[in-house]
Structure 1
Amino acid sequence: MSDSSEILDALLDAINDAGQLDGYSVWTEVGPERWTEAGAQGAATAYFEIVTPGEELSERAHLIAFPMPAEKPEFDDGAAADRARDAAVDRENGVL
């Protein structure tokens, strides 16, 4: 393993140890094509490249993290809960 490969592995370990971005899934390493598409799909993206003189290829890592779905409130049984649930559904659908 080359020095740049070891450094890139250490960077990826540090990213995993740092945790998730608020509201996003864990970082996932993907190929360059998937990484390019992910930004248009609302994902957070990160790209690391280490280039050293004398090495034929650079070491690269493409990472994505997708937004987590918003948690929907849970409602109790009963008429008041039904009205609150209906109001929440109306807000989600843009009905005022």
Structure 2
Amino acid sequence: MTTHFRLVFTTCANASEARAMAEQLVQQKLAACVSILPNVESVYMWEGEVTHATECKLLIKTKSEKMNQVIQTIKKLHSYEIPEIQVVDVSTGNLAYFNWMDEVLN
């Protein structure tokens, strides 16, 4: 079974930014659901130095045809100069959940 759904990952600096972004995406019907994972520790290179940060990870559930709008909304609302935006194709899963997503996102 091939689907037209996508899972988008991003991180936010704090819970209030994560909640605001999640609410915007759901209110605008760009995401059926956004799960927020608080207190994710990230280790990365920034400006030549190893950096440690506590962030919130967002798992954004959407449809492929909404991807451009999702990406633009994340960039617009994000506080980071270069926000993480990674997209994963959803190949299979719970058909009832996908039906619910179709209903919510139409």
Q: Normalization by structure 1: what TM-score?
A: 0.31
When Rg is computed on C-alpha atoms for both structures, the one with the higher figure is 1
Structure 1 or 2: more helix by fraction: 1
Structure 1 or 2: more strand by fraction: 2
Greater relative contact order (Cα < 8 A, sep 6+): 2
Q: Normalization by structure 2: what TM-score?
A: 0.28
